[in-house]
Amino acid sequence: MTVSALQEDVLAANLARPAYGLVTLTWGNASGIDRERGVVAIKPSGVAYPDLRAEDIVVLDLDGRPVGGGGRPSTDTPTHLALYRAFPEIGGIVHTHSTWATAWAQAGREIPVLGTTHADLCDGPIPLTRPLTRAQIDADYEGETATVLIEALAERGPEAVPCALVQGHAPFCWGASPAAAVANAVTLEEVARMALLTTLLRSDSPPLPDFLRQKHYLRKHGPGAYYGQK
């Protein structure tokens, strides 16, 4: 099998994560989907980043049956597949244990909108999943992780909410492409860091007023967005 453009994109997304300081060792994983061919490409499990090549990126169908790439896929593959099945608008998913976002996940707190950097990413708090029950963990841990993520997105959807914190675990981020998911992961980590430092300066910082939050979000993401090149 020749290396596909999808594998190249997913390799680039995986390598961008240590380059941005979001992961170390073999942690985390990034994937992408080719909706036309119905295949998902994802990092192999437990491979160190310097050793990763495009042909190592595992290719699966949406039910997890291997289509290409030699290795065993990431242990978190069922989470990725369930998110792709639930949300046709998602083209790439990134999972990290990035330090500051993980601190919020471990503290069991959603991240409030304390500034415009956050509003540039997301029009509301970064949601926190409910805890997994023992039954969910025993039955299908990785699949049920997607279940609680999907619940957390139910109201606002994956375009308005480009990432969420799995309680006690770490963030998952997504976007229209693997590269867009990486950019959301980079932004989330910075937003998490700023929010934690803000909390140290003032434990009761009020969230941004609605009109400022929406202004920032919409100038970047709304129908009349004027950020970026046309």
> Known catalytic residues?
120, 227
Q: Report the candidate in 66, 46, 53 with the shortest Cα–Cα distance to residue 12.
A: 53
Does residue 125 interact with a second copy by CB under 8 A? no
Of 85, 156, 193, 221, the one binding a second copy (CB under 8 A) is 193
DSSP labels for 83-147?
HHHH-TT--EEEE---HHHHHHHHHT--B---SHHHHHH-SSPBPBPPPPPHHHHHHHHHHHHHH
Applying the rule CB under 8 A, the residues between 166 and 185 that interact with a second copy are 168-170, 183
Does residue 198 interact with a second copy by CB under 8 A? yes
Q: Which C-beta is closer to a second copy: that of 88 or that of 135?
A: 135
Site for a second copy (CB under 8 A): how many residues?
Answer: 62
Of 137, 139, 160, 176, the one binding a second copy (CB under 8 A) is 137
Of 107, 139, 160, 176, the one binding a second copy (CB under 8 A) is 107
CB of 38 to a second copy, least distance (A): 25
Where b means 16+ CB within 10 Å and e means fewer, 100-131 reads bbbbbbeeebbbbbbbbebbbbbbbbbbbbee
List 111's β-bridge partners, or say none. Answer: 126
Distance, CA of 95 to CA of 102 (rounded, Å): 11
Distance, CA of 20 to CA of 31 (rounded, Å): 17
Of 105, 122, 149, 152, the one binding a second copy (CB under 8 A) is 105
Point out which residues bind a second copy (CB under 8 A): 20, 24-27, 44-47, 71-72, 75, 97, 99-100, 102-109, 114-117, 131-132, 134, 137-138, 141, 168-170, 183, 186-187, 190, 193-202, 205, 208-209, 211-212, 215, 219, 226-230
